[in-house]
Amino acid sequence: MRKTILTVAVALGLLLGAGTASAGSFVYVTTTNPMAALTAYYSSVANHTGNYIHACQNPTFSSAIYLTTSGGTQIRRVDGLCPLRNWGHPAENSTRAWCANKTTSSKYAKCTKYT
C-alpha cells in the first residue's frame, strides 16, 4: 500500500516538476515549504557526476534521491538523512535527480543545486 502511494506521489511529482525541468542543464528546484508528504520533485542534470546536491533544512527525516535516465528508467536510488548527495559513474549521462519526501508528514525541506 505504501509503495502504491509512493508511486502515485512520484507520478504526481513528475507532473508538478514537468514545468521546472529543462534538458541538459540543472534546474534549481525548491520544494514547497513545507514539502508535502509523499511528494517528489526532479531536476534534470546533464551528467550526474556533476554539481548537484539534495539539501534539506530539516535533517531529521529520511528522504530519497531517484536518478532516472532521460527515458525514465531508474538507474540508482539512494535513501538517507538530509543532506544527502549522490554521484554516479561518468557513463551515466543525461539523468534526472529526484528529491523526495518519503515520509507521511510534511517537512520543512529544500532541494537545491549545490554551488
Partner 1 sequence: MRISQAIRVGLAFGVAFVIGGIAVASINSPAESELTPMFSTSPLKLLSDGSSLLADPNEIGFDEHDLDILTGASIYRAADSDGLTAYVARLEDGSLCLIATSAADGGAMTCGTMDSVAAGRLVLRSQNQPGDPSLFVGIAPNDVIDVQVDGTSTFLANNVFVGSGLPTTDEYSLTGESGQRVTVDMNVDGVLNEQPGSHPGDEPLAND
90 in Cβ contact with 47 (< 8 Å): yes
Residue 4 binding partner 1, by CB under 8 A:
no
Dihedral sign of CA atoms 38, 36, 41, 89 in order: negative
Residue 7 binding partner 1, by CB under 8 A:
no
Phi, psi of 5 (to 5 degrees): -60, -45
DSSP state for residue 36 in the 8-state scheme: P
Give the total of residues touching partner 1 (CB under 8 A): 39
Provide, rounded to whole angstroms, the least separation between the CB of residue 68 and partner 1.
11
Provide, rounded to whole angstroms, the least separation between the CB of residue 6 and partner 1.
8
Residue 19 binding partner 1, by CB under 8 A:
no
Q: Where do contacts with partner 1 occur on this chain (CB under 8 A)?
A: 2-3, 33-34, 48-51, 53, 57-62, 74-89, 92, 102-105, 107-108, 114
